[in-house]
Amino acid sequence: MANLKTEYPTPQFQRDRWVNLNGEWDFAFDDNNIGIKEKWYKDFPKKMKINVPFAYQTENSGIHDPSFHDTVWYRRSFDIDTDWKGEHILLHFGAVDYHAAVYVNGQLVKQHEGGHTPFYVDITNFVEVTDNELVIRVEDPSEDVTIPRGKQYWHEKSASIFYTRTTGIWQTVWLEPVPATRIKTIRWTPDIDEGNVDLEAELANLSLVNQAQLQVDIYFNEKKIVSDTFEIMEDYLKRSINIRNRFTDRSNIHGPGWYWSPEHPNLFDVQLTLLNDGQSEDIVHSYFGMRKVSIENGKFMLNNKAYYQKLILDQGYFREGLLTAPSDQALKEDILLSKEMGFNGARKHQKIEDPRFLYWADKLGFLVWGEMANCSEYSEDAVRRISKEWADAVTRDYSHPSVVAWVPLNESWGISRVAHDKQQQDHSLAMYYLTKSLDQTRPVISNDGWEHTKSDLCTIHNYNDPSKIQEQYKDVKTAIQAEPANRSIYANGFEYNGEPILITEYGGIAYKVDNTDGWGYSAVESGEQLIEEYAKVTNAIAESPVIHGFCYTQLTDVEQEINGLLTYDRKPKCDLKQIKAINDRIK
């Protein structure tokens, strides 16, 4: 059983020293909600064992119980390396679904709400060298439809398009020692037109050092091309670093020689060193890609050239781990299989994906649409929850070159009356502008599928047959007037303003390869028929003069959905080379 135990969880912000806390923990259900009263954070009950970072609902957790348990507890002991004496100790969580309370040696040190985004706490003042006890209490209200849950169903048994829930720790937990004065955050913004990359860095406790400097060493193909040192006067630093002029070979500076794209995933490696009076105080390793996303004349542009997006809908679920991949290699393999079929990217559907997936997308060359896990119903509390967590997600993933679009809302989930309800329209607009306020470099889709308000792309979900698709997308007028799901493409009071039109869900062709019962939007009886139907519907989209990209449903089967090109266990249902041949003909 794999554990994601050896890979640093955030490759774009990485230190050399750290301790992974994945593995076997003590575990307990608290169905009667007595844990706080009985002080389980000091006297943990002898109950079960769980394999972190897998949720108790999963096979890989060792428990594999899909029933409702809304409150759970975790416990493990840990020691502090003697070499860490005098440093600050940070305790990190990749993601804990949904509300986490963290106790160290019997004291509450942190609370966090949000099931998909990271958090950390400085536990320096709460730990000893040996025999420390870490306890986590998690609340995950199974039936609350106003929390951002994505595809996690609010009934015990999966049905329709909804799947088994993920409760508790589902990404890596780790410790790391850091100096009091340190690099807190970094952010990369490439500008290929000027040949620069902007570096933003936030520093902690700068007042504790005498003369602080930040040394930036940038490497391309293992060759150092930049070594600059900036004097730091305050806790926030922003500098523009020229990249173009660092290349002695100027023959290909405007092309794939150094730009990032799916065809040429060029990355620049970086070492950031915080200096105090010339001595190293903190070192962080990072990377970035030089690429530009823009919209011009109704077309999606990558690096100033029209780019046809051939995306696959990827739910990011695994039979043995649900939201948690069984290994880092499994994340990489999903991208490799997608590229093997001729797809140049994925829409990560209703899931804020593990940063390790984005690392492999950056490394291998694979476009990613970052999408929020939506609430199912609207309320003012739902607005607060989704807004905060989405802002954290955009902030976390901003610097990844693979991420080329943001999708805060999908198919009017959580805004079921957005077509005519002004309050819900205002929420859609707020999510659009919130995203824009955090990131001016990528397009934002206000409500993927239909009933758009303000949106940079016109994205449509259409599971109709090929002949109907040909009829509906022969020109812009018919494309905007068509209502493939009996939903208007734009909400009342909003209209199309020349945005690029993409079909971001289609196909969903079911092919049952074993005894698993399931469904799709249409069905075939063989791998050959699957290829034939894929060709028909994809070619119908590609032949449209007004469509500038697509996203096929879907990469893999997921539980009762059997409309993947791969099974739930990632086995091909047909000859993938033939899928690639169809996709490769589309430019």
Residue type, 343: F
First vs last C-alpha separation in the chain: 41
- Residue range 183-194: mean pLDDT, rounded: 97
Summarised one tens digit per residue, pLDDT across range 290-344 is: 999 999 999 999 999 999 999 999 999 999 999 999 999 999 999 999 999 999 9
Q: Which fold has domain 182-288?
A: Immunoglobulin-like (2.60.40)
Cis upstream peptide for 98 (omega within 30°): yes
- Residue range 563-577: mean pLDDT, rounded: 97
The DSSP code for 500 is P
Q: Which of 4-18, 81-95, 154-168, 460-474 has the lowest mean pLDDT?
A: 4-18
Residue 209 or 441, more confident: 441
Distance (Å) of CA 292 to CA 237, 288, 341, 343: 23, 12, 25, 20
The DSSP code for 160 is T
The pLDDT mean for the chain works out to: 95
For the cut 80, the answer to whether the pLDDT of residue 420 exceeds it is yes
Tokens of 341: 């079929």
Tokens of 460: 């449509």
Summarised one tens digit per residue, pLDDT across range 224-277 is: 999 999 999 899 999 999 998 877 655 555 556 899 999 999 999 999 999 998
Q: What is the pLDDT of residue 566?
A: 98
358-378 burial, b at 16+ Cβ within 10 Å, e below that, comes to bbbbbbebbbbbbbbbbbbeb
Domain ranges (residues) in the chain = 19-178, 182-288, 293-584
Q: What is the pLDDT of residue 516?
A: 80
DSSP one-letter string for 274-338: EEETTEEEEEEEEEE-B--EEEETTEEEETTEE--EEEEEE---BTTTBTS-S-HHHHHHHHHHH
How long a stretch of residues is the chain?
Answer: 587
Residues in Cβ contact with 229 at an 8 Å cutoff, skipping those fewer than 6 apart: 213, 214, 215, 216, 275
- Residue range 494-500: mean pLDDT, rounded: 97
Q: What is the pLDDT of residue 4?
A: 59
Q: Which of 318, 289, 322 is nearest to 403 (CA)?
A: 289
Tokens of 524: 């075939």
Q: Which fold has domain 293-584?
A: TIM Barrel (3.20.20)
Q: How far is CA 420 from the centre of its chain?
A: 31
Summarised one tens digit per residue, pLDDT across range 133-152 is: 999 999 999 999 999 999 99
For the cut 90, the answer to whether the pLDDT of residue 209 exceeds it is no
Q: How far is CA 578 from the centre of its chain?
A: 29
Q: What is the pLDDT of residue 1?
A: 45
Q: Which of 176, 359, 162 is nearest to 265 (CA)?
A: 359
For the cut 70, the answer to whether the pLDDT of residue 384 exceeds it is yes
Residues in Cβ contact with 292 at an 8 Å cutoff, skipping those fewer than 6 apart: 190, 191, 192, 193, 301, 302, 303, 304, 441
Domain 19-178 has CATH 2.40.30.10: no
Q: What is the pLDDT of residue 73?
A: 98
Summarised one tens digit per residue, pLDDT across range 435-460 is: 999 999 999 999 999 999 999 999 99
How many other CB atoms sit within 10 Å of the CB of residue 162?
Answer: 21
- Residue range 50-63: mean pLDDT, rounded: 97
User: Which stretches of 61-131 are assigned E, i.e. beta strand?
Assistant: 71-78, 88-93, 96-97, 99-104, 107-113, 119-122
Residue located via tokens 């398009």: 161
Q: Do the domains at 19-178 and 182-288 have one common CATH topology?
A: no
- Residue range 171-179: mean pLDDT, rounded: 97
